[in-house]
């Protein structure tokens, strides 16, 4: 076996063992064996599925190409071991299920769902290598577009992403930007974010793994030269993956928690005098600075404080992409249904850079709050966790009358007589009256009221049609 063949080695052991043991000798170390290790007997297995092939690709890149040991896409089976370090007592959790590096996994998911990914970070952290590998993994140059988002070509990068972005399956884009303090970093992310669907921050190299770099140096090989042929995807395979990803189910309780999160940020009680104008979007279209208008949240109003941490809301395409990447992550893990953890893990990489943090919010006044201004991923996960706790406190999985009224309407109006319409209108008005008596108006109540008003109007229109038709 040549040195190049050693780097191209793909272990035959399953990356995510399920069911009974395979025949032959199985060595779990083979999953993480470096390029210069050898001597593991082959394992008799069936041809891998496409999810297994993508996992093989992930592990080959993290172990042979980019060497990314930071596992920030975490999964746990029960409570994990948690440790804290330093004066600030920063927490580290030790995953007890297979977990992943966002720097490698998210670009792979972007490849198979055909979206636009921005890779940001300091020079020399593997961004260009990852982007080039994504191109090599796909069938020909027409499947992947690469954009240089360096500060000296920002307008070109923006135009490329805006004018030639994906129109559907079969086209994935990757843009790279160096956070070098000379026009890159946060400013470039803000400039490009409206034209990208996912922002992935490159992770710094851990010098404890310099030995792997030395192996490549002495062998005289580059990662792009070592990509195993069996990891390259055909057009049919990528199309099939995209189809399989879309069939992954989103349980209503998981979807509802994303809805509940999104409802907190667009609402702004001081934005107007009509109920439908109480949004930050309205302020952005006006001459008023949204950051200077008091939102009305008090220290004793924790859910209101959450909404006050941003200057804008979440757009529909970003919510759709959040669900798509959550589906892709669940599929990658061999699951047919997404979990709350799938959603929590991908959500910051889609949404964190779409929300403008409000630095005047009390949440960022000092200590941990100040550090969250520089750590949008942790900030976004914290917001999601807080809204999930409030969702559970309200018991919305067990009792959500607005959802029931929605379901009732979407079941159809066929064979519904005027008496039933009147009964439903009365139920809607009763719920609206109940909400109006609440001491505080929050974002989720604002969207509930508008949804109920919409249903009310639809029933009124249907009742008019019933009377006209006799």
Per-residue pLDDT of 50-87, as tens digits, reads 999 999 999 999 988 888 888 999 999 888 888 989 88
Q: What is the mean pLDDT of residues 410-423?
A: 93
Residues 283 and 180 both lie in one domain: no
**Domain of residue 187, CATH code:** 3.40.50
Residues 11 and 39 both lie in one domain: yes
Report pLDDT digits (tens) over 322-356.
999 999 999 999 999 999 999 999 999 999 999 99
Whether the CB-CB separation of 278 and 269 falls below 8 Å is answered with yes
27 pLDDT band, cuts 50/70/90, is: very low
Q: What is the mean pLDDT of residues 130-153?
A: 80
Cα 219 to Cα 189: distance, rounded to the nearest angstrom:
37
More confidently predicted of 168 and 341 = 341
Question: Within a domain: residue 317?
Answer: yes
Domain final residue, candidates 229, 247, 265 = 247
Domain final residue, candidates 247, 274, 296 = 247
Question: Within a domain: residue 76?
Answer: no
Q: Which percentage of the chain shows pLDDT scores above 90?
A: 48
Cα 447 to Cα 458: distance, rounded to the nearest angstrom:
17
More confidently predicted of 121 and 417 = 417
Residue 26 has pLDDT above 50, yes or no: no
Pick from 119, 122, 115: nearest CA to 131 = 119
Question: Within a domain: residue 71?
Answer: no
Residues 96 and 221 both lie in one domain: yes
Residues 238 and 173 both lie in one domain: yes
Comparing 136-145, 184-193, 213-222, which segment has the lowest mean pLDDT?
A: 184-193
Whether the CB-CB separation of 382 and 324 falls below 8 Å is answered with no
Cα 39 to Cα 221: distance, rounded to the nearest angstrom:
22
Alpha helices per DSSP H over 230-279: 235-247, 252-266
Question: Within a domain: residue 70?
Answer: no
**What pLDDT shows up at residue 43?**
42
Residues 160 and 297 both lie in one domain: no
Q: Range of 8's domain?
A: 3-65
Q: Which residue has the tokens 């400013």?
A: 187
Enter the DSSP assignment of 91.
E
Question: Within a domain: residue 164?
Answer: yes
Residues 100 and 222 both lie in one domain: yes
**Domain of residue 307, CATH code:** 1.10.8
Report pLDDT digits (tens) over 278-329.
888 877 776 666 555 555 555 556 777 888 899 999 999 999 999 999 999 9
Residues 150 and 243 both lie in one domain: yes
Residues 218 and 164 both lie in one domain: yes
Residue 29 has pLDDT above 70, yes or no: no
More confidently predicted of 121 and 245 = 245
Residues 241 and 320 both lie in one domain: no
Residues 95 and 39 both lie in one domain: no
Query: What's the number of domains the chain is made of?
Result: 4
- In what helix (H) or strand (E) does residue 450 lie, and over which residues does it extend? helix 443-469
Residues 315 and 289 both lie in one domain: yes
Question: Within a domain: residue 74?
Answer: no
Question: Within a domain: residue 294?
Answer: yes
**What pLDDT shows up at residue 35?**
39
Domain final residue, candidates 191, 220, 247 = 247
**What pLDDT shows up at residue 23?**
43
**Across the chain, what does the average pLDDT equal?**
84
182 pLDDT band, cuts 50/70/90, is: very low
Cα 203 to Cα 7: distance, rounded to the nearest angstrom:
22
Residues 411 and 287 both lie in one domain: no
Q: What is the mean pLDDT of residues 200-222?
A: 88
Q: What is the mean pLDDT of residues 123-148?
A: 86
Question: Within a domain: residue 73?
Answer: no
């Amino acid at each position: 076996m040549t040195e190049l063949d050693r780097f191209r080695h793909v272990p035959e052991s399953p990356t995510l063992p399920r069911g009974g043991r395979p025949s032959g000798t199985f060595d779990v170390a083979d999953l993480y064996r470096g390029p210069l290790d050898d001597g593991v007997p082959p394992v008799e297995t069936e041809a891998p599925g496409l999810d297994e092939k993508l996992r093989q690709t992930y592990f080959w890149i993290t172990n042979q190409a980019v060497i990314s040991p930071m596992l920030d896409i975490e999964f746990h089976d029960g409570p994990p071991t948690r440790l804290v370090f330093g004066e600030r007592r920063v927490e580290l959790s030790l995953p007890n299920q297979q977990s992943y590096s966002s720097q490698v996994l998210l670009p792979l998911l972007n490849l198979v769902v055909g979206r636009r990914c921005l890779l940001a970070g300091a020079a020399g952290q593997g961004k260009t290598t990852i982007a080039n590998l994504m191109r090599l993994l796909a069938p020909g140059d027409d499947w992947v577009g690469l954009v240089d988002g360096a500060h000296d070509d920002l307008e070109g990068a923006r135009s490329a992403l805006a004018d030639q972005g994906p129109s559907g399956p079969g086209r994935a884009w990757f843009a790279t930007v160096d956070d070098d303090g000379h026009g890159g970093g946060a400013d470039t992310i803000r400039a490009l974010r409206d034209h990208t669907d996912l922002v992935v921050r490159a992770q710094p190299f851990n010098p404890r793994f310099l030995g792997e770099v030395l192996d490549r140096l002495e062998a005289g090989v580059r990662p792009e030269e070592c990509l195993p042929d069996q990891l390259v995807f055909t057009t049919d395979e990528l199309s099939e993956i995209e189809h399989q990803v879309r069939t992954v189910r989103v349980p209503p309780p998981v979807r509802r928690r994303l809805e509940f999160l999104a409802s907190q940020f667009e609402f702004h009680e001081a934005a107007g005098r009509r109920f439908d104008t109480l949004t930050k979007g309205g302020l952005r279209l006006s001459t008023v600075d949204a950051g200077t208008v008091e939102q009305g949240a008090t220290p004793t109003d924790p859910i209101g404080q959450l909404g006050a941490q941003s200057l804008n809301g979440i757009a529909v395409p970003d919510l759709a992409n959040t669900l798509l990447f959550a589906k892709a992550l669940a599929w990658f893990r061999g699951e047919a249904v997404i979990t709350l953890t799938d959603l929590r893990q991908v959500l910051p990489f889609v949404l964190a850079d779409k929300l403008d943090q409000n630095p005047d919010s009390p949440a960022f006044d000092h200590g941990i709050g100040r550090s969250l201004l520089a750590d949008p991923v942790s900030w976004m996960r914290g917001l999601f966790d807080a809204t999930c706790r409030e969702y559970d406190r309200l018991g919305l999985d067990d009792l959500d009358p607005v959802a029931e009224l929605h379901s009732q309407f979407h079941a159809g109006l066929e064979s519904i007589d005027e008496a039933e319409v009147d009964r439903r209108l009365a139920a809607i008005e009763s719920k609206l009256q109940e909400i109006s008596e609440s001491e505080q108006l929050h974002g989720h109540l604002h969207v509930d009221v508008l949804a109920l008003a919409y249903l009310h109007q639809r029933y009124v229109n249907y009742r008019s049609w019933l009377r006209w038709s006799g």
